[in-house]
């Protein structure tokens, strides 16, 4: 059974960089046809896709965040990471990591981390 | 970017009721649509992929239909454990986008 677990600081100061790591267990991050995504959800609001990475290192980002986002992968540790720079209060949210399964032309998020709340405040 | 519009935003129904949620895409997305269930304090859970395919282990009272721009999600007989917020998500084009959610409550 694949499991994902987010980790990182729960409090980040404005203008600083938010850094989170997702550790994947129960399977290799390198095996199969999967992208690995970050998704966030402000309190009481909907879901926003941030971006994804393939194990080759290929990335796709949401244009609304592209200038501030970097997603990377460390296959030796079975982890992938998110960095979001120049954060403001608007970046306060629960951040989820998720596996984006690809089967032919089908894509879906079938495994999710439990989510981690990141608050941007001085 | 493709905009996804769900309706209603909230819904109150009784146990045993048939419940229907709609999702409209701002452009044709073929059948590239998923549905998720999110319970309070939990991560979303995949229920339906490719508009109408039931994820393994998901009860058969859940179903999805539609293609192009108009999609429907149905619970045939509402159960107390179905209380949650439901989201549609398109994957026809990047960036992926979600509907704003439909919060389902028991009457």
- Per-residue pLDDT 10s for chain A (122 aa) are 999 999 999 999 999 999 999 999 999 999 888 999 999 999 999 999 999 999 889 999 999 999 999 999 999 999 999 999 999 999 999 999 999 999 988 999 999 999 999 999 99
The reply to whether residue A109 touches residue B99, judged by beta carbons under 8 angstroms, is no
pLDDT of residue B36: 98
Q: How far apart are CA A36 and CA A22, in angstroms?
A: 9
In B45-74, the residues whose Cβ lies within 8 Å of chain A are 45-46, 49-50, 55
pLDDT of residue A63: 97
Dihedral sign, CA of B41, B100, B84, B107?
positive
Smallest Cα–Cα separation from B23: which of B40, B48, B43? B48
Hey, what are B40's tokens?
């309070």
**pLDDT tier at B33, thresholds 50, 70, 90:** very high
The reply to whether residue A109 touches residue B46, judged by beta carbons under 8 angstroms, is yes
Task: Tell me the nearest-neighbour CA distance from A108 into chain B, angstroms.
Answer: 7
- The neighbouring-strand residues paired with B49 are B53
pLDDT of residue A31: 84
Smallest Cα–Cα separation from A78: which of A93, A91, A97, A62? A97
Please, what is the Cα angle at B16 between B13 and B22, to 5 degrees? 50
**Under 8 Å CB-to-CB from B104, ≥6 apart: which residues?**
B10, B11, B13, B19, B21, B78, B82, B83, B84, B85, B86
Facing B46 at nearest CB: one of A37, A110, A115: A110
Q: How far apart are CA B52 and CA B31, in angstroms?
A: 8
Task: Tell me the nearest-neighbour CA distance from A107 into chain B, angstroms.
Answer: 7
Contact call for residues A38 and A28 (beta carbons, < 8 A): no
Taking only the tens place, the pLDDT of each residue in B48-77 is 999 999 999 999 999 999 999 999 999 999
Facing B87 at nearest CB: one of A47, A62, A113: A47
pLDDT of residue B43: 98
């Amino acid at each position: 059974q694949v499991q994902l677990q987010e980790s990182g600081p729960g409090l980040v100061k404005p203008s600083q960089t938010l850094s989170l790591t997702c550790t994947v267990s129960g399977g290799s991050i390198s095996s199969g046809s999967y992208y690995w995504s970050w998704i966030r959800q402000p309190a009481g609001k909907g879901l926003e896709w941030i971006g994804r990475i393939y194990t080759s290192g290929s990335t796709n980002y949401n244009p609304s965040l592209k200038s501030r986002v970097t997603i990377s992968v460390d296959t030796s540790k079975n982890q992938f990471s998110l960095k979001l720079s120049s954060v403001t209060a608007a970046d306060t949210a629960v951040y989820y990591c998720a596996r984006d399964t690809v089967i032919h032309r089908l894509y879906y998020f079938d495994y999710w981390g439990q989510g981690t709340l990141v608050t941007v405040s001085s | 970017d493709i905009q996804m519009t769900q309706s209603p935003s909230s819904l109150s129904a009784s146990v045993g009721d048939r419940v229907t949620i709609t999702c409209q895409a701002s452009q044709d997305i073929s059948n590239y649509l998923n549905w998720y269930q999110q319970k309070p304090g939990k991560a979303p859970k995949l229920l339906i992929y490719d508009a109408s395919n039931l994820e393994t282990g998901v009860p058969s009272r859940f179903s999805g239909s539609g293609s192009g721009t108009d999609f429907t999600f149905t619970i045939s007989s509402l159960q107390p454990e179905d209380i949650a917020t439901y989201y549609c998500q398109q994957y026809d084009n990047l960036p992926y986008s979600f509907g704003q959610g439909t919060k389902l409550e028991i009457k």
